[in-house]
Amino acid sequence: MKSTAGRLLVASPLMGDPNFERSVVLMVEHDDESALGLVLTDPTTTPVGQMLPQWAPLTSQPDVFFLGGPVSYESVISLGWATGGDLQAFGRIVGDIGTIDLSGDPAGLGIELAQIRIFAGYSGWGRGQLESELALDAWFVVDAHPTDVFTDEPHELWSEVLGRQRGPLAWLANYPIDPSMN
């Protein structure tokens, strides 16, 4: 098994699962037992400041909660872009992007953050489930860029990520939402 942690899963246009249609998922963890990721393309309309006002000044635009996936909506996971400080307590995922603990005061973290994004719920796979989906070409695994996590145009991310790939994968960036109308 090759881990996808720190990489992006980009939904195939033919996936067929409405939970992940045109989604881009940042993989937070992936081992032999399970996998966990966060959908980067599904903003809600709930402002972060409404529930976590102390974190609102650090929240990237759009400054709303994102649905991280269809599992456990009561769970909240936050990603931050660290620019300095004590990075030992920082749950690094890729580059300077990692998980951060929202239970305290942002000033008490010991790290400097450029911005954060907060997710309700997550995407989860049990033993062998993600590997099966990958074998069926339901997902494309590509490199993550820090700007993917904090894009201010999340609905455009699917096309943007595919468009920067090489070869035939880039052609899918213009795949129509309804191919029968083409």
Residue 86 lies in a domain: yes
- Which pLDDT score, from 0 to 100, does residue 167 have? 87
Output 161-170 pairs: Cβ under 8 A, ≥24 positions apart. Answer: 161/8, 161/10, 161/24, 162/10, 165/140, 169/140, 169/142
**Structural domain includes residue 173:** yes
Q: 127 in a domain, yes or no?
A: yes
Q: What is the pLDDT of residue 1?
A: 67
pLDDT, position 73: 87
- Flag whether 66 is in a domain: yes
As for how many domains the chain has, the answer is: 1
CA pair distance 132, 61, nearest whole angstrom: 35
2 lies in some domain? no
Domain CATH code at residue 30? 3.40.1740.10
Q: Based on the number of CB atoms within 10 Å of its own CB, is 42 exposed (0-12), middle (13-18) or buried (19 or more)?
A: buried
pLDDT at 176: 57
Give the SS3 label for residue 99: strand
Q: Is the pTM of this model over 0.75?
A: yes
Residue 154: give the domain boundaries: 7-181
**Residue 1 belongs to some domain of the structure:** no
The strand pairing partners of 111, in sequence order, are 85
Q: Tens digits of per-residue pLDDT, 126-169?
A: 999 999 999 999 999 999 998 999 999 999 999 999 999 998 88
- Residue of 109, 104, 28, 31 whose CA lies nearest to 71: 28
> Is 176 inside any structural domain?
yes
The C-alpha atoms of residue 50 and residue 147 are separated, in whole angstroms, by 25
Model confidence over 36-83: pLDDT tens digits?
A: 999 999 999 999 999 999 999 999 999 999 999 999 988 999 999 998
With respect to residue 107, please indicate whether it lies within any of the assigned structural domains: yes
Residues forming beta bridges with residue 113, ordered by sequence position: 82
